[in-house]
Amino acid sequence: MSYFFAFFVEGFFVSRFCLSFDILALSVDEIVLTIIIIILMFINIKYIFIGLTLVIVVKWKNMITYYTDGSCSPNPGPGGFSVIKDGFPAIVGYDPSSTNIRMEGKALIATLSDAKDAECQIFTDSQFWINVATNWGNSWEANNWTKKGSPIKNLDIVQELHRLYKKSNAQLIWVRGHNGSPTNELADEWANKAREGKMSGYIN
């Protein structure tokens, strides 16, 4: 009975952390690890905890982490945005005439375009764009891109962000701006650099 229970629990968590994704998209180490922990499970029930830990570590190791930020000074006025990927500046953008909210949205669009369908976490201090991507966008789309009968501001960015997020494997996470997080501060720094230096594109 204990081995049957172990098999059930192990199978559930392996499916949750690995096999819930397209099997063809799994990396070689994930496939090998899944096979190994199933074998270990049959040797001794205690290996279930080792197996679960290894699965979580592997999934965490393979997950991309992004931090994004937008800057506009004055607002409205010249704007810049930045994308920090796994702790390093990766993408910047510039717009000679924009707003802070638009640059925040453009940063997320650039991030999702870079991530494609890869599993990732995206940290942003814009609760507005998180709500657009995860909640409001669905109802606005169902209502033919209107909000209670009135036009939606920044509709070009809203639609593009919504489209990219729907087909992504991204998790959007809100982080308070200027909260002392080194990576969040780095995103803010590079957003200002992009605005001041009129920089756009990938950073080598």
The residues annotated as belonging to the active site are 69-70, 104, 125, 178, 188
Cis amide prior to 76 (ω within 30 degrees)? yes
Report the Cα 25 to chain-centroid distance in Å. 18
Q: How many Å is the Cα radius of gyration of the chain?
A: 21
Cα 19 from Cα 142, distance rounded (Å): 32
DSSP assignment letter at 147? B
Cβ atoms 154, 108 nearer than 8 A: no
Give all strands of the β-sheet with 64-72 in edge-to-edge order.
Answer: 169-174, 119-124, 64-72, 77-85, 88-98, 201-202
**Type and span of the H or E element at 161:** helix 155-166
Helix, strand, coil shares of the chain, percent, nearest 5, are 55, 20, 25
